[in-house]
Structure 1
Amino acid sequence: MAVIDRLDDDYLRQALEHDVRTGLTATPKWLPPKWFYDETGSALFSAITHLPEYYPTRRELEILRRHVFDIAARSRADTLVELGSGTSEKTVLLLDALAAEGTLRAYTPVDVDVVTLEAAAGRLSVRYPRLELRPVRADFEAHLALLPSLLPTPGRRMVAFLGGTIGNLPPTAREVFLKELRATLRPGDMLLLGTDLVKDVARLVAAYDDALGVTAEFNRNVLRVLNRELDADFQPDAFEHVAIYDEDNEWIEMRLRAARPMRVAISALGLAVSFDEGEEIRTEISAKFREEGVAGELTRAGFAVTSRYTDPAEDFALTLASASPTGCAPPPLTASA
């Protein structure tokens, strides 16, 4: 089936140019994590999810396997929407459970990578021949308002935002994102949100600084993307991978630290960027959450938390929330472990 494409031909290029010009002329310097994910970056991240230090993917799958039928029964969604769907591997668990519940009718994966969308849709069309598949190429941060026009009108929707990706947004951006997402939903529609939880600092840092150095290569890959796409002359090996935990903000920061003074030309932008020895580029934040914090953010955005699911070690959580009617108080939170 054809991918519904809501990205203009120049959209990603303009977004990359804007982010690089804005981030690398700021003090301190930064780049958003979305630019990690070219073909090489996606392969590196897939390798990261299998590392012993990196627990989030395993824990989220564990929670889904244990609780997916309860999630399906509570949501009774006939349309599943997945933001940042990637390969849609975890989604099969949700689709199977909704099919068993007897409600499943449609699935809309949303991602910026058309090749990944087409491949995932092709696999799913074989597994679910009667499922209405509507893959959408879009930037879910920028194009949330388009979702209602792309989905079946009747029925009940569940939006899945998994993998702890919400943690890549700083608090103000999370607030805007959740409110804009709520505005696309009708009362009773559901959100399934994955969040990584606050835990021992050593375990958190290790998950982003593995012994084999896979995460370090993933981090440096953003510089290779800039070299290729913007005719830059970064030397990735001249930047050290850094992962630290910010206890005040309760998030991991990944950074690239210049090992020596250098001046980098970004020819496509007519821009030269200087680095002092030890100067850093922040390339990612990954916020870690507490139960009350997640519930508070969702409630302020117009959602009512109905269930919370965790693994036995409470490393990760899935929160199921419904879109509240305007002016209605949310029902009490119920927890499942």
Structure 2
Amino acid sequence: MTAPHPDPNLAISSLADLARAAGTSVSTASRALSGHSSVNEQTRARIRDLADTHGFQPNQLARNLRMQRTQAIGLVLPLGHETGQHLSDPFFLSLLGHLADGLTERGYDLMLSRVIPRDGDWLDRLVDSGRIDGLILIGQSDQDAVIDRVAARYPPIAVWGAQLPGQRYVTVGSDNRLGGLRATEHLIAIGRQRLLYLGNTSAPEFAERLAGFREAVDSAGPGVTGEMLDLHLTPDAAYAAIAAYLSDHPAPDGIFAASDVVAMSALRALREHGLDVPRDVAVVGYDDVTLAAHTTPALTTVRQDLVSGAAALIDIVFKRIAGQPATSRLLDPTLIIRGSTVV
């Protein structure tokens, strides 16, 4: 039997039109377009060519529904600890860009959300919404118990953040304690003795950075002291807290900030109090966001490998979607020395 010759004037606007033109059933045409092995290669090629000739695109949404796939991955910034933080945060935007590129390469869309948890069911609502095939969380915030509970029944979750003892969910993140240790040891190595940590401990990542700071101070011996200024991590709040501290206390000679955003706020406050960076006060940040190299002076900081981190998060989610095992990854932080600590 000779296959029907494509009519160039034929309008094909539905799968039924395509099947009719190809002389097959609708189900055969659908399987051919999806590359199903139940349709022989000759027939698959003929139907694909016919669809291409007439510019026909199958209804991807309908196909996804049949496959129980949405072709979307959720990306969520949970803000239980820092409700004033926004999606415009430089670190978040940097990681978001790498994740968006990686998901696009896999043919997936990204569904972006900023969540302020109001109850213990916020994550359940997300994973049960039917709108995503998997979920990437940027940070645990103070929600690790909620994440652990949901991850026990919903495997395709990957979290950018710290590894916590006994957790069931999979994480990717830098060794924050080691990063804090390296930043503080650098300040001590350049002769700074009155050190100040700017941040808080409400999220595990920042608690680990503080632990690295304290370890370096404790190991330095007599003469080196370290204090902590507990503050919010948004730019205006951090600036206000640092300015108030400088008005009431002697200035430190070295500052380790929990993030580059906080470090930039410190540069502003120090300048407005007539203090020179780095002559009077050396400053180290954390993250190495794009702006860090363009401050005055350029910011010494701890770089997190966001390219590798984003790739690992995506790999974990797709492995878990496929029912495969995945393990957490700990990335090595790198100290980037710039003008804020070089006299």
TM interval, short-chain normalised: 0.3 to 0.5
Normalising by the residue count of structure 1, what TM-score does the alignment of the two structures yield? 0.33
TM-score, scaled to structure 2: 0.32
Larger radius of gyration: 2
| Structure number with higher relative contact order (C-alpha < 8 Å, ≥ 6 residues apart) | 1
Between Structure 1 and Structure 2, the one with more strand by share is 1
